[in-house]
Amino acid sequence: MVSCVRIITFIFYILHFSIIKPTILMMNIKRLLNTVLLLLLCHSVNAGVQGSPTVIEKEIVSDISRIAVSYNDRICPIQTVALDFVSKLTGQSSWQGYSAEEIFVGWMIYYTEWETQELIHVESPDVQRILGIEGEWASVRDFYTSRHEYKLSGLDADSTLSSEQRDAIAEVDMKMQLVTMFYHSEMLRMFPLTVDGQTDWYTPGSTELPLGTPNAEFQFINHAMDHLTQAILANDIAGARNIISKIRLYQEEKAAQVLPSHLAITAEVLHNKLLTSCWWVYLCLLLSVLFAITAVMGKQGKWMSLSHTVFLAALFTLLTLVMGMRWWVSGHVPLSNDYETLLSMAWVSSLIGIICMRRYAILKALAPVLTSLCLFFTAYTVSSPLITALMPVLQTPLLFVHVVFVVISYSLFAIIFLISAYGLFLRSRGKVSESLHLVSISYRLLWPAVGALVMGILIGSVWAKIAWGSYWMWDPKETWALITLIIYMIPLYRPFRNFFPHWHQLYLLIAFLAVLMTYFGVNYFMPGMHSYA
């Protein structure tokens, strides 16, 4: 039974890419075949049993993942699309040892196998009961009844359900909409055509090609992926790579003016792999903590101190390369979202450590810790590190200057927080003089931190006037930025430090909560015009 259904499905797949003439009749037939194909892919409950899906050769997966496509208003490699697809379904960049590219490309070819895999994360117990699954993972098949009915149909608007239940259903339903987009090849707009100076990208077997499209291009767009699929199924690696090369040549001929270079594609692939791998983040965090402990305990000898300096320099160099790569690939300064600002804070923290480590040894110890913590948060608090197109409202140099000052201030506030925590630890151990020395350091760092925040708010107000027509609108993030500024201006008052030296560090420790609220809390609890940041 399984073999029969797979054969029938494959036949429909071949027919799907075999309609050549763009007549109205043929287009209608093709739409019908597309619908039947989708039904076979999504609803054939008896077409197979869950098991390990077929793995495609890694070199084929690697070649396909480097093909350029038009996705989310930018031209990017398929690997970026695969990461977005898999991360939205599973909540992570890989699944059970399979990379995002292996899942995406494998699903393109062996769809009946992948639709039985439980890789769709369903967190809500209510949605789990509706789907009839045990646990938090579901397959595409779990979303349909034995009569091929979609189980979540209309439930996101059911007034008998609570708003929380409807939101949970809508969240999972969006994942299935993504799967539907995948089946309709909407994520594979890889064939460019230029008409009247405007370049549009089309999906394999598209029925929307412009009238008058030359027959050679029409046939290539309709059959290239068909031939690639046949070559992969026949395990013809050389033939598959040859077809992939032809697709790239076609793209270079038809869209050379907008197509990223091979070097840019490779840079984005490497960038994505680096920022979706966590092992180096753990290593940096471990080494930074070990070096910090040996430094504050006075256990660093000559070679250990030199290793600490080399580690800090290497960390700064690595982050500089990542930031530069992201800047080059995206075409804008990497300061446009929460992921990029966290990455920038990591870079600024390491830079502060390098600049100040000779004068303030404590910064050499704590700056790498803060850098590693920022990297850790990028891995676990941000949904996706993928490069995205810049929103029109953000396409202004004023914004980036505004964010630069804010990032510098927040980085300094975070360092002051760590210094204050260590100072309180020393005070608890009876080392009052050393603790007071740290009070003096944090006081000196407060001035540039507050000054940077003032500049950030002022420049942000000028940008707001241009973007929204008003200097100040009491948006939640604006309000909390002002609250943070007032909180940190209080300890700058010298009598505060002189009369309350014992409370100075505790105050700065608690004050950092305002920074966390401004940076993280506002986005999650009080969304406003800055919700994208």
**pLDDT (tens digit per residue) in 98-151:** 999 999 999 999 999 999 999 999 999 999 999 999 999 999 999 999 888 999
Is pLDDT at 22 greater than 70 in this prediction? no
Name the most confidently modeled range: 14-18, 94-98, 120-124: 120-124
pLDDT value of position 383: 54
* Distance in angstroms (rounded) separating the CA atoms of residues 241 and 143: 36
Q: If you search the block for the tokens 């996705």, which residue do you land on?
A: 71
Q: What are the phi and psi torsion angles at 121 (to 5°)?
A: -80, 125
Name the most confidently modeled range: 167-176, 429-438, 494-503: 167-176
pLDDT value of position 501: 63
Residues 6 or more apart in contact with residue 289 via CB below 8 angstroms: 369, 372
The more confidently predicted of residues 532 and 400 is 400
106 C-beta neighbours (distance < 10 Å), count: 20
Please check whether residue 65 is in contact with residue 268, taking contact to mean a CB–CB distance below 8 angstroms: no
Write the pLDDT tens digit of every residue in 288-316.
Answer: 999 999 988 877 788 888 999 999 999 99
- Burial of residue 13 (CB within 10 Å: 0-12, 13-18, 19+) is buried
Per the prediction, the chain carries an average pLDDT of: 84
The more confidently predicted of residues 470 and 290 is 290
The number of CA neighbours under 13 Å toward the Cβ of 191 is 24
pLDDT value of position 316: 95
pLDDT value of position 119: 93
Rounded mean pLDDT, 486-491: 91
Q: What are the phi and psi torsion angles at 192 (to 5°)?
A: -85, 145
pLDDT value of position 531: 52
Handedness of CA 447, 293, 306, 371 (dihedral sign): negative
The more confidently predicted of residues 504 and 104 is 104
Tokens (6 digits) for 518: 């401004």
pLDDT value of position 400: 84
DSSP character string of 38-77: HHHHHH-TTS----PPPPPPHHHHHHHHTSEEEETTEEEE
pLDDT value of position 251: 94
Is pLDDT at 431 greater than 60 in this prediction? yes
Name the most confidently modeled range: 28-37, 397-406, 412-421, 469-478: 412-421
The more confidently predicted of residues 196 and 161 is 161
52 C-beta neighbours (distance < 10 Å), count: 10
* Distance in angstroms (rounded) separating the CA atoms of residues 93 and 273: 9
pLDDT value of position 278: 81
pLDDT value of position 283: 93
Please check whether residue 245 is in contact with residue 262, taking contact to mean a CB–CB distance below 8 angstroms: no
Name the most confidently modeled range: 140-144, 340-344, 495-499: 140-144
The more confidently predicted of residues 34 and 185 is 185
pLDDT value of position 430: 82
> In this predicted structure, which of 27-41, 85-99, 103-117 has the lowest mean pLDDT?
27-41
pLDDT value of position 498: 64
pLDDT value of position 274: 84
pLDDT value of position 275: 80
Rounded mean pLDDT, 370-375: 92
pLDDT value of position 19: 39
pLDDT value of position 266: 92
Q: Is residue 394 very low, low, confident or very high in pLDDT (cuts 50, 70, 90)?
A: low
Q: Is residue 36 very low, low, confident or very high in pLDDT (cuts 50, 70, 90)?
A: very low
Q: Is residue 338 very low, low, confident or very high in pLDDT (cuts 50, 70, 90)?
A: confident
Write the pLDDT tens digit of every residue in 143-190.
Answer: 999 888 999 998 888 888 898 999 999 999 999 999 999 999 899 999
Is pLDDT at 450 greater than 90 in this prediction? yes
Nearest partner of 185 among 172, 200, 201, judged by Cα: 201
Handedness of CA 321, 322, 324, 325 (dihedral sign): positive
> In this predicted structure, which of 83-87, 88-92, 363-367, 428-432 has the lowest mean pLDDT?
428-432
pLDDT value of position 525: 67
pLDDT value of position 46: 36
